[in-house]
Structure 1
Amino acid sequence: MQFSLYGLPQFAISTTEVFLRLHLVVYLTKIVGLSGTQAGAMVSASLIVSSIFDPFIGHYSDLMKEKLGQVKPFIMGSLLSLSIFIILIFIPDWIPSERVLLFILILGYQISYSSFLIPYLALAKELIKSEEDIVTLYAWRYFFGSIGAMVGVSLPFLGELFPAKNFAPMGLAMVALIILFAPTALSRIKEKVQKRKIERQSTKLFQSLLHLFKNNVFSGYYATFTILSIGLGVNQTLAVYYYQNGLKLTEGETSILLGVYMLIFCASIPIWVKFAQKKGKKLALTLGLVTMCCVTLIYPFIPSRNFVALYSLIVFAGVFTGIVALIDSYLSNIIDFHTYKQSEKKANLIFGVWRISDKLSRALGIYIAGIILDYTVYNSQSSYSIKDAFGYGVFLFLLAASIIFMLQKYNDQHHKKVIRILKQKNPDLLYKAEELEP
């Protein structure tokens, strides 16, 4: 019950985030009237600029936790601002000349989203009763997030029901889901008000960042995640083009295929959770990353409209892509190691820095995918095909991420030793579980 309640807010947030990823540029071009270049630049710039705020969000939410003993008010406030910005983006009738104001609103949405996500991810550390629980906790988040993603993909049907209202029904639906699910679930989590008793004063932001990136364990995993995210960003951007242009599928066939993939992905998460709890997160992530590399090499060889081969590959890919549900839980291990090294709790700051990589790598992945499209789909004289790019191009990123990750010496046994030392020498630095209201 506790873990599922923690994951439930991600349902509404993922619905919103996936819808915006897929349709914000469409809204800006078809409804507002911006050019494709203007719309793409606006969204990319909002990601880049908002990433500057992420470490500050993490740092000051850490300070709130230290001084007030709780961070949940910070999360609740971000949900309110998130809803306001969604309404302001989609409800008014914008015109191209108001693009500066519209950019500010989109930037506000991005900052509000980070203001929710960073302390929300860090809050998980306060809810676990054993270190193995963090895998299950984040898996629930991914599970509800995946369901939300499917809802986000389906939201445009509201536009067909209310054609005269443009994107307003979708905007109101997203806000309704946020208000209905997120505060209700979070309110059931009873965050224990406990001010941290740290012997020395909390370090300043830039000093904390310096300590963080001097931590080789964190830097190695950060590099792994960044490269992996770029590869996945390229994969997600090119997927529809691969299926429709490369394999000659219709839009309906592509939607069904992606729906099956998402179902397999969701179903695989509990399998990876059990595997990680028994064999360790490091082994599970290594196995998943290496297998994902191998899978990408198969994509160029799938014959057009060969549904037996295609669905077989989709099932296999969906199972092993479920490994991404362990990414945040492994970061939890890194947070414990950094806490041990620096004698400070900086989970919110670390998740803030993590968000920078997520945003910038996504923007870079989209940019690289655009270049690939210019050389393949939109260049009839090119000797390169979208099938080759979708396979071999993504493979290079996944291979690099896998190699960097496997070279990292820190593993689950090291993490258990860190927890044991903290329990013995400085138990105040351990993240403690909180109880839910009955």
Structure 2
Amino acid sequence: MTHAADSEDAGGKSISLSVRLTYGFGAVAYGIKDNGFAYFLLLFYGTVVGLEPALAGTALLIALIFDALSDPLVGYWSDNTRSRWGRRHPFMYAAAIPVALCYSLLWQPPDWGDGLLFLYLVVLAVLIRTLITFYETPSSALMPELTADYDERTTIQAWRSFFGWAGGAGMAVFMYAFLLVPSETYPVGALNRDGYETYGVISGGVILVAILVSALGTHHRIGLLTTPPPRARAGLKAVFKEVIETLADRSFFALFVSSIASAVATGLTAALTFIMLTYFWAFSSLEVFYWTLLVVISAVMGLLIAPRASKRWGKKGAALRLGVLAFTVQPLPVLFRLMGWMPENGDPLLFPILATVNTIDLGLIIAMQAIFFSMLADLVEHSEVKTGRRSEGVLFSALTFIRKTTQGIGAFVAGLILQAVAFPQGAAPADVPTESVLQLGTLLVPSQWFLWGVMLVALVYYRLDRAQHQSNLTAIQSRDGRSV
């Protein structure tokens, strides 16, 4: 049963600002982890530490394979948990300290050879992925339980996306302002190994705080959330049968395929971003710092745009419009450089042009991301009408798995590209052959456009709209006699 009808916060049109903020703040943990894996990890292990880039990318892919089963299993386990702390919070509390500790150790590798260093990276990447699943999947699954309102879900997810992006960017800004600074030992700030080690300690602490704030800040809502039916004994075969039954939906499949393409494209772009900034555009450490700082402005843009666009065009219409605009523009600066249409490196106009384009473009992407997860939330009731089960954990775990491919497959492809262009390890920007830099851009642009195109085409096949969502809510209320 559910007590959602007892409080507007649990199922009405709006929830309190304090719940929005504390729930959203929990995304800082995943934002820091995601930012570190996507933007810094390949650079750190492949360039600073000296591990072969292809080996670093392979290590992340192996971790992804080992981690693949944990997502749906944790989602299913969370959906069917019965405890005095509810379905989600036991997992959130349990993950806090271990994931913070492992993330800190990731950035303090011992001085080993490639073989042992490769194993070190694999083991910690597997642990971090698994532990973050124990937090992120149940935490994400809270959102559909907090409210069933079509528009309010987008607002809540917009706050979560804001904190995730702002938290990750904020830590990166801190790195470039205070940790990755040039010195006599490290003339290029991005190659400062000591800075990465300090980052590991600090970011691990922030991850711990973010998880605990979110868990404690939503703890008082436990009594108002959905309680699962009594559990029947079920073998592994029955568990997977239920998971497959839940996910066997056309609209979910559209989101699933869209997520795969989006995750690979995002992972590829993210893994090469700071390499492109440092070597392709030859930005200084100060310019990279400003570039990263502007992500916070993009996050604010996403927070403001997502709810308004969703109300005006509906979730699918808004996601497609924002996506077409954002992903058409994103690769253009690199393409224009290859065609000789951009100012030369060092030109005072280059940074303002690129920073403005990127800030606006990223704001659109963040807004689209928030709408995307709100679309997923609406599938909870759609699935419940068909199966009789509320499977927030299973549905969101599928997307959590796809998000992890951002660091897995995307980083793996990035490592292969760096290997293909013979990109040197640990070289100063002036020492990298011009041919390698241009080849890097030549391979990146078509890869991005192809993957983003697949993502948008898949999204067209999502069928759930405002009217269908309301019909699902009405059907559940008529069948079960409860408000959602």
Q: TM-score, normalised by structure 1?
A: 0.85
1:50 corresponds to 2:67: yes
Match among 121, 131, 134 for residue 150 of structure 2: 131
What letter is aligned with 1:279? W
The question of whether the paired residues in 2 share the 8 Å contact of 1:19 and 1:152 is answered with no
Distance 1:167 1:382 in 2: 26
Single out whichever of 204-213 and 359-368 deviates more from structure 2. 359-368
Distance 2:195 2:279 in 1: 29
Cα 1:244–1:16, aligned 2, differ >3 Å: closer, same or farther? Answer: closer
Task: Report deviation, 1:386.
Answer: 4.0
Task: Report deviation, 1:116.
Answer: 0.5
Report the counterpart of residue 180 of structure 1 in structure 2: 209
Match among 319, 327, 334 for residue 379 of structure 2: 334
1:195 corresponds to 2:251: no
Q: Deviations over 1:242-272 (max 9, x none)?
A: 4454445444334423432442343232122
What letter is aligned with 1:272? A
Task: Report deviation, 1:288.
Answer: 0.9
Residues paired across the two proteins, number = 430
Report the counterpart of residue 62 of structure 1 in structure 2: 79
What letter is aligned with 2:140? L
What letter is aligned with 2:376? L
Report the counterpart of residue 425 of structure 1 in structure 2: 479
Task: Report deviation, 1:173.
Answer: 1.5
1:415 corresponds to 2:469: yes
Matches within 5 A, 1:134-145: 134-145=153-164
Q: Deviations over 1:54-95 (max 9, x none)?
A: 111111111214897432011110112212323554568564
- SS of the aligned residue for 1:115 comes to helix
Cα 1:67–1:73, aligned 2, differ >3 Å: closer, same or farther? Answer: closer
Q: Deviations over 1:96-149 (max 9, x none)?
A: 475446633331121001111000000122222633221111111111112211
Report the counterpart of residue 188 of structure 2 in structure 1: none
Distance 1:420 1:159 in 2: 55
Match among 114, 117, 122 for residue 133 of structure 2: 114
1:320 corresponds to 2:364: yes
What letter is aligned with 2:67? S
Task: Report deviation, 1:332.
Answer: 0.5
Task: Report deviation, 1:422.
Answer: 1.7
Distance 2:243 2:68 in 1: 15
The question of whether the paired residues in 1 share the 8 Å contact of 2:173 and 2:289 is answered with no
The question of whether the paired residues in 1 share the 8 Å contact of 2:258 and 2:459 is answered with yes
Cα 1:257–1:7, aligned 2, differ >3 Å: closer, same or farther? Answer: same
Report the counterpart of residue 303 of structure 1 in structure 2: 342
The question of whether the paired residues in 2 share the 8 Å contact of 1:9 and 1:182 is answered with yes
Distance 1:233 1:239 in 2: 10
Cα 1:167–1:314, aligned 2, differ >3 Å: closer, same or farther? Answer: closer
Single out whichever of 182-191 and 151-160 deviates more from structure 2. 151-160
Cα 1:389–1:251, aligned 2, differ >3 Å: closer, same or farther? Answer: farther
Q: TM-score, normalised by structure 2?
A: 0.77
Matches within 5 A, 1:341-352: 341-352=386-397
Report the counterpart of residue 24 of structure 2 in structure 1: 7
Match among 451, 458, 464 for residue 397 of structure 1: 451
The question of whether the paired residues in 1 share the 8 Å contact of 2:144 and 2:378 is answered with no
Distance 2:167 2:85 in 1: 32
Q: Give the unaligned 5+ runs of structure 2.
A: 1-17, 184-191, 424-432
Distance 1:401 1:407 in 2: 11
What letter is aligned with 2:387? Q
Single out whichever of 298-307 and 90-99 deviates more from structure 2. 90-99
Report the counterpart of residue 435 of structure 1 in structure 2: none
Distance 1:335 1:20 in 2: 30
Cα 1:185–1:161, aligned 2, differ >3 Å: closer, same or farther? Answer: farther
Report the counterpart of residue 10 of structure 2 in structure 1: none
Task: Report deviation, 1:177.
Answer: 1.7
What letter is aligned with 2:141? A
Distance 2:216 2:145 in 1: 15
Identity among equivalent positions (%) equals 16
What is the root-mean-square deviation in Å for CA atoms of aligned residues? 3.4
The question of whether the paired residues in 1 share the 8 Å contact of 2:154 and 2:306 is answered with no
What letter is aligned with 1:226? I
Cα 1:98–1:309, aligned 2, differ >3 Å: closer, same or farther? Answer: closer
- SS of the aligned residue for 2:147 comes to coil
Distance 1:168 1:296 in 2: 32
Single out whichever of 14-23 and 416-425 deviates more from structure 2. 14-23
Report the counterpart of residue 223 of structure 1 in structure 2: 257
Cα 1:192–1:237, aligned 2, differ >3 Å: closer, same or farther? Answer: closer
Report the counterpart of residue 430 of structure 2 in structure 1: none
Distance 1:23 1:258 in 2: 13
Cα 1:235–1:349, aligned 2, differ >3 Å: closer, same or farther? Answer: same
- SS of the aligned residue for 1:407 comes to coil
Report the counterpart of residue 436 of structure 1 in structure 2: none
The question of whether the paired residues in 1 share the 8 Å contact of 2:280 and 2:437 is answered with no
Cα 1:353–1:104, aligned 2, differ >3 Å: closer, same or farther? Answer: same
